[in-house]
Structure 1
Amino acid sequence: MNYVLENIPERALKPREKGLTMVMDKGLSLREVEDVLETSGDYIDIVKLGWATSYVYPKLEEKIKIYKDAGISVYFGGTLFEAFVVRNQFDDYRRVLDKFGLELAEVSDGSLEMPHDIKCQYIRQLSEQVTVLSEVGSKDAEKIIPPYKWIQLMTDELSAGAWKVIGEARESGNVGLFRSSGEVRTGLVDEILTQIPYEKIIWEAPQKAQQVWFIKLMGSNVNLGNIAPNEVIPLETIRLGLRGDTFDHFLNNEWK
């Protein structure tokens, strides 16, 4: 840091198991990636190449190398996994992961109807090859999953070999964990946390108000995902109580 401030929350150090910031790359140019890493690389843990953008991106190998050289793990969005599976190309998907040297993969069923035991089977198979992130929740705003079901799905997927489970919100933050307005389904989150350790969950939270809510509930080292590249440093200041939204949350003196 550039100077000293007291009463700043202690952040987990990289490589982190908690306090992860997962960034959504929706098609940044190589130069844009380099610019993001120059300013924010220290605060980025994982980058998701959104949905199936990796299929059409023209310089994919070069982009992945830039991230990996910076010590940042990269993975393809879960929609790409689903696109391979629905076409009976799962083995091809595994070969693609090897071709691009990826160490992370996302297993999701947000767009594809898939029996849960089959999803867990995919998690088991992929976990023999890479570190698996599994996403829970639907991209369909009309599909409401009750809290007990979220807990069951997360528990089963962690047991199947997922490193972390991702709470679905999409890039817009208005499905899954959130209402269409972007408001957090607070009862759902509270219920999930009675059974699933917070450090095992990456909460997709693209909107600032959502990030603030999770940080106030679980602290600076909550795992947050689907963060826009230009929001990484603002998010870090929220984590540290250095933005108005969390300014007094971490203070422990008479000014609090």
Structure 2
Amino acid sequence: MNFKLNDLPERSIKPRQKGLTMVMDKGLSLRQVEDFLDVAGVHTDIVKLGWSTSHVTPRLKEKLELYRSAGIPTYFGGTLFEAFTVRNQFEDYQRVLDEYGMEYAEVSDGSMDIEHDIKCDYIRKLSKQVTVISEVGSKDATKIFAPYKWIKLMQAEIEAGSWKVIAEAREGGNVGIYRGTGEVREGLVDEILTQIPSERIIWEAPQKEQQVWFIKLIGSNVNLGNIAPAEVIPLETIRLGLRGDTFDFFLGK
């Protein structure tokens, strides 16, 4: 921090277990990654190479090394796991993780249909190889899960070995835990939090209004994901009450 300001909320310290900022890299160049890390690396906890972009990203190993040298873990989006798995290439996927030195992996079923017991088996298998982040919720806006089902799925995946569970919203923030307008399904979130500890969940929140809502509900150290690289610094100011949206929210607390 560049200045001394009193009455700021206390942020957790890296490596964090809560208060994570997960950034979505949708195809940054090496130079863009360098610039991003120079400005926002200190506030970034983990980077997802969105969906299957890693399959078509040039100089992928060099990009991963840039993040690694900055001490920021990376992982391939869950859609890549699904792309391998739906083609009966799960073992090939495991070899790819090893080839690229990946320490994290995402297991999701947002684009493919898979029995949940089988998904949990994949989580168990991968958790012996890497740290697993699993995603709950569908990318199909017509698939609406009842709160009890979200809870059941999240509990099962945590028990299977997931370090964190992601609440699906896509990069647009308009499915899963959100309505098509981007509005939070507040009742759903409240129900989930009665059973699942907030520090175990990464809430995908690409829109500023969504970030503000979760920070006001859970606090500065809520885990937020699918943050655009250019929005990391703005998000950190929201977490600290240094932007109009949360300016007086933390004062006197």
Alignment of 1:1-256 (within 5 A): 1-252=1-252
Partner deviation per Cα, 1:21-48 (whole Å, 9 max, x = no partner): 0000000000000000000000000000
2:62 counterpart SS class: helix
TM-aligned CA deviation for residue 78 of structure 1? 0.2
CA distance in 1, matches of 2:147, 2:47: 28
Identity of aligned residues (%): 74
TM-aligned CA deviation for residue 132 of structure 1? 0.1
TM-score where L is the length of structure 1? 0.98
2:48 counterpart SS class: strand
Partner deviation per Cα, 1:38-80 (whole Å, 9 max, x = no partner): 0000000000000000000011000000001000000000000
One-letter identity of the residue aligned with 2:124? R
TM-aligned CA deviation for residue 173 of structure 1? 0.1
TM-aligned CA deviation for residue 174 of structure 1? 0.0
CA distance in 2, matches of 1:177, 1:48: 19
CA distance in 2, matches of 1:73, 1:115: 29
1:57 counterpart SS class: coil
CA distance in 1, matches of 2:40, 2:30: 15
CA distance in 1, matches of 2:183, 2:40: 27
CA distance in 2, matches of 1:138, 1:238: 28
CA distance in 1, matches of 2:100, 2:16: 23
CA distance in 2, matches of 1:12, 1:103: 22
TM-aligned CA deviation for residue 89 of structure 1? 0.2
CA distance in 2, matches of 1:128, 1:2: 42
CA distance in 2, matches of 1:52, 1:138: 16
CA distance in 1, matches of 2:122, 2:146: 24
Partner deviation per Cα, 1:176-233 (whole Å, 9 max, x = no partner): 0000000000000000000000000000000000000000000000000000000000
Partner deviation per Cα, 1:146-186 (whole Å, 9 max, x = no partner): 00000000000000000000000000000000000000000
CA distance in 1, matches of 2:85, 2:161: 19
2:162 counterpart SS class: coil
Count residues with an aligned counterpart: 253
TM-aligned CA deviation for residue 237 of structure 1? 0.1
One-letter identity of the residue aligned with 1:2? N
Which of structure 1's runs of 4+ aligned residues deviate more than 4 A?
none
TM-score where L is the length of structure 2? 1.00
Q: Where in structure 2 are there 5+ consecutive unaligned residues?
A: none
1:64 counterpart SS class: helix
